Amino acid sequence: MTVNELKASFKEVYGNEAEAVYFSPGRVNLIGEHTDYNGGYVFPCALSFGTCLLLRKNGKQEINFRSINETEIITVPLTDLGTPLAKGTWANYPLGVFAQFLKRGVKITEGYDILIWGNVPLGAGLSSSAALEVVTAYALNDQLGTGYDRTELAKIGQKAEHEFAFVNCGIMDQFASAHGKKDHAIFLNCDTLEFDLVPVKLEGVKVVISNTHSPHKLGDEYNDRVRECQLAVEQLRSVRPELKNLAELTQAEFDEIQSVITDPVALKRARHVVGEVQRTVDAVKELQAGNLEEFGKLMNASHISLRDDYEVTGKYLDTLAEKAWKIEGVIGSRMTGGGFGGCTVSLVKEEAIDTFKEKVGSAYKEKTGLEADFYIAEIGDGAKKCD
């Protein structure tokens, strides 16, 4: 929908003109998966699709949340902004952001009417929830004049996800949504939050996102991975008492001390994280040096590690990636995001895109009975106010 169409919908729903419109994007991660909450590197980029939020002060002591995809308005009195709604309610994402402003001592004294619309496919691992959190944080920051920078807005979104959606996610998704830049990927150190914007110049090559349509639900399994990594850190502390995060270990250091991890599952998880951090650093160097083929090989290796050691891929993502690897003109292909369904990201030569869609699509249908969807990603900007 265009901004004008959204404004018309706002008027229809609330009977008044919207006062402001904000946008924040979804993201696709090129490499560096399940490294963020281990203090490692990630390399995501913001997409051109995302979530819009329209609002107007309503002169009442309540917030009205309405999504274009839902028929119901969810009304929350200002006195209840700190309490989550029933688990699974979509409005918990924006509500969780309001709660974070309160926690930071911000006074919210006026109510708003809010309308949300987004075009990030839901449950596809492209961060529809981070887009919703960050657009809310950006809007509130602007409305309340709190002056938080983009990194703080990302942290607010992440905390909202922890406390109102009960997923102990890392910072990557919200950071990418807040800091994205057109035609750049974000090389982010998730420990220090220092980052570089790296130009993504892919001559004759496109970033193709393939959607399994096997919904990924981040929840218990994701939180299990977070815990398994913490267990590995605890066990490693018997020989490295000062160790904070798995990502602090080089491959050589890890190889030397890994035998102290007695839990076999935690050992596999740790092996993925240490290898993935190194692959991400290497991949960024290769991209900067223009060695796309090498970048692609690292993407494939990332998928294999996520499949075998981290165990977050599954039949749907594996079918897409493994078929893609066999197609001429595919530079690299891997799952992206949390896993357990969702999407793969592939670098594909322009002349091979039609064959890619046809061959990957039919192999996928044959194996799973589902239709995959393909999008050519456009790398867009981070959160903003729209005119």
User: Hey, is 272 helix, strand or coil?
Assistant: helix
Minimum CB separation of residue 70 from ligand GLA in Å reads 23
The two structure tokens encoding residue 160: 């909202």
For residues 313 to 352, the per-residue mask of contacts with ligand GLA, x marking binding by CB under 6 A and - elsewhere, is ------------------------xx--------------
Q: What are the strands, taking DSSP E only, across the chain?
A: 20-29, 41-42, 44-57, 62-67, 74-77, 112-118, 184-189, 195-199, 205-211, 330-336, 343-349, 373-376, 384-386
Which residue stretch of 34-42, 51-59, 114-122, 140-148 sits at the interface with ligand GLA (rule: CB under 6 A)?
A: 34-42
Question: Which of positions 35-74 make contact with ligand GLA (CB under 6 A)?
Answer: 36-37
Residue 121 or 170 with smaller CB distance to ligand GLA = 170
74/379 with CB nearer ligand GLA = 379
> Which residue of the set 36, 113, 173, 318 is catalytic?
173
CB proximity list for 378: less than 8 A, separation 6 or greater:
47, 48
Burial (CB count within 10 angstroms: exposed 0-12, middle 13-18, buried 19+), residue 222:
buried
Please name the residues in contact with 115: beta carbons below 8 A apart, sequence gap of 6 or more.
6, 9, 10, 13, 14, 18, 53, 54, 55, 66, 67, 68
Which CB sits closer to ligand GLA, 111 or 338? Answer: 338
> φ, ψ for residue 4 (rounded to 5)?
-65, -40
- Residue 170 is a binding residue for ligand GLA (CB under 6 A): yes
Q: Tell me the C-alpha distance between 368 and 355, whole Å.
A: 19
Work out which of 113, 133, 173, 318 binds ligand GLA, going by CB under 6 A.
173
Q: Based on CB atoms, which residue is closest to ligand GLA, 115 or 190?
A: 190
- Residues numbered 206 to 225 that lie near ligand GLA (CB under 6 A) are 218
* Nearest approach, Cβ of residue 33 and ligand GLA (Å): 4
* Contact call for residue 133 and ligand GLA (CB under 6 A): no
Q: From 32-40, 76-84, 231-239, 361-369, give the range in contact with ligand GLA by CB under 6 A.
A: 32-40
Q: Which of 378, 386, 338 is nearest to 180 (CA)?
A: 378
Which CB atom, from 218 or from 292, has the smaller least distance to ligand GLA? 218
Name which of 380, 207, 228, 374 is nearest 295 in CA terms.
207
Q: Which range binds ligand GLA by CB under 6 A, 33-41, 49-57, 102-110, 345-353?
A: 33-41
For 179-198, the three-class secondary structure string (H helix, E strand, C coil) is HCCCCEEEEEECCCCCEEEE
Compare residues 39 and 380 and give the one whose CB is closer to ligand GLA.
Answer: 39
381 given a catalytic annotation:
no
Q: Are 114 and 94 in contact (CB under 8 A)?
A: yes
When binding is defined by CB under 6 A, the residue of 47, 172, 249, 353 that contacts ligand GLA is 172
The residues binding ligand GLA (CB under 6 A) are: 33-34, 36-37, 169-170, 172-173, 218, 337-338
Known catalytic residues are 173
